[in-house]
Structure 1
Amino acid sequence: MKKILLAFVMLGAATSFAQNDKQAVQSMVDTFTSALEEREIFTYLTTTRYCDGNIQMIKMPNGRMCASKGTFYETYIFWQEEGKSYGKKIDNCGMFGSIELPDSEVYDYFTTHFEAIRSNPVKGYEIAQKETGPLQRTEINNCHKSFTLSNTDDTFSQKFNPFDLTNDAVEANIHYEYNQKLKIVHLDSLLDTAIKQIEGSANFIRI
């Protein structure tokens, strides 16, 4: 009897948790961007932020729990439709409703600087001379930001570690000044603001 009861408990636990990995997140992103293209929207930006090994558990609107399977990924999609700019979040636990943004700053910036962003990626943290042994890294080194920019003619991707934009190691980063001037770094700053607008919206609801 105890074994039967335990089986039911384990079954209930399995059905009350949804576990999605990176592939599941990417599948949802692909589904949504394909829907954009079906509406003849070919210019859009996706950015994914994650820290290796960061696992999160989230209570869903239906009361079930969702635990990320491995690393928790947060992807944001930005596009423009009928003259309005929108943003959307997708993570391991599903999609949120699309949010109309208060301005078109992100869209205008990445479309204007599309080629400059493609041609000038962030350079990794590098020191002039190694004097104190291996480069000392902080926890932020486990975090990453990736970007995919698409328009009617082309699509490209870039990725960097936020640590590469700092001077936080014992020896100075010789690429610090260079990286700070990059269009993708300024775009990332604009995205930070837009993401706060999305997540602060009253319409920011899981669907």
Structure 2
Amino acid sequence: MQNTSPVYLLISNYFMQMKKLLFFLLVTITCTVYAQNDLDYVNIIVNQKMAELEMQDTPEYFFRNDYCDGNIEIFKLRDGKICSSNSTYYAVYVFWKEDENTLNIQKFDNCGSFKPFTIVVTKAMARALKDKEKLMYEDVLPYKAEKVDDNAFGNMSVQSCHKNYKFVFDNKVFEKSFNQFDLTNESKYKNLNAAHNNSLALIKLDNEISEIVKNLEINGKFFREN
């Protein structure tokens, strides 16, 4: 026999409303979260851009991929949807030569592509890009502490931020990568390879790119295409 007491009906109605509210929240959350994209997704959209530049016979182009292991970023897109990186956020900056004094730049990340635009090549950046042989053959050396304790465990706290490059210069393709920690003296003992690493053409170029990207970000120059 069905219970029709006022108390029972009140409680039943309360739980029915709660179920509807929970269902609404689940639907809202599902619809709001746009994507959680990983490195594979970023590689796909960047490779598409690189293939496009190759088809256009672009003489010089390259990209820099910035990431810190485990760093997650969440963005609200223009349509109101939410996009987040899956485990690690990757920001890739593709550069291609417009003429002797300018480069085009386009940013890509876990949430898609940004609109390309043109920047002026700084003198320091132009010098670094001319050292193509050095860019190709010089390598960043790993952190080498001037001293190692007998109980070395815990002496070094290695940062997990990285820069990966891919260059295409007159059909010559090569890649470079390094851990930013290898450029520093941020451990218990001095890094014997720090001076060498910071003198490299790649690092001089990297410093210029970092300064350019920093200023572009501060001035809000990157706009998403979607």
TM surpasses 0.5: yes
- Rg larger in structure: 2
How many residues get paired?
206
Stretches of 4+ moved more than 6 A in 1? none
The DSSP-based 3-state class of the residue aligned with 1:75 is: strand
The match for 2:155 among 136, 140, 146 is 136
Whole-angstrom distance in 2 between the partners of 1:123 and 1:164: 7
Q: Does 1:12 align with 2:31?
A: no
Shift, 1:180, TM fit: 1.7
Q: Which has the higher contact order (CA 8 A, sep 6+)?
A: 1
Identity %: 29
User: RMSD of aligned C-alpha atoms?
Assistant: 2.3
Give the structure-2-normalised TM-score. 0.81
The match for 1:31 among 38, 48, 55 is 48
18-27 or 120-129, which deviates more: 120-129
Whole-angstrom distance in 1 between the partners of 2:124 and 2:37: 29
Structure 2: which amino acid aligns with 1:149? Answer: F
Shift, 1:181, TM fit: 1.0
Whole-angstrom distance in 2 between the partners of 1:143 and 1:55: 13
1:26-73 deviation digits (Å, cap 9, x = unpaired): 111011111222222142110011111111110001111111111011
Whole-angstrom distance in 1 between the partners of 2:99 and 2:195: 39
Contact 1:101 1:197 in 2 (8 A): no
Contact 1:78 1:107 in 2 (8 A): no
Contact 1:55 1:69 in 2 (8 A): yes
The DSSP-based 3-state class of the residue aligned with 1:24 is: helix
1:70/1:82 CA distance change after superposition, 3 Å: same
Whole-angstrom distance in 2 between the partners of 1:98 and 1:197: 16
Shift, 1:8, TM fit: 5.3
The match for 1:102 among 113, 120, 132 is 120
Shift, 1:160, TM fit: 0.9
The DSSP-based 3-state class of the residue aligned with 2:190 is: coil
101-110 or 30-39, which deviates more: 101-110
Q: Does 1:199 align with 2:217?
A: yes
Give the corresponding residue for 1:71. 88
| Superposition map of 1:1-207 within 5 A | 6-7=22-23, 9-17=25-33, 18-81=35-98, 84-103=102-121, 105=123, 108-131=126-149, 133-134=152-153, 136-138=155-157, 141-201=159-219, 203-207=221-225
Structure 2: which amino acid aligns with 1:134? Answer: F
Whole-angstrom distance in 2 between the partners of 1:94 and 1:134: 41
1:78/1:86 CA distance change after superposition, 3 Å: same
Structure 2 unaligned regions, length at least 5: 1-15
Contact 1:105 1:190 in 2 (8 A): no
1:23/1:110 CA distance change after superposition, 3 Å: farther
Whole-angstrom distance in 2 between the partners of 1:186 and 1:122: 12
Whole-angstrom distance in 1 between the partners of 2:124 and 2:82: 33
Shift, 1:4, TM fit: 6.9
Whole-angstrom distance in 2 between the partners of 1:167 and 1:81: 38
Whole-angstrom distance in 1 between the partners of 2:125 and 2:58: 13
Contact 1:99 1:201 in 2 (8 A): no
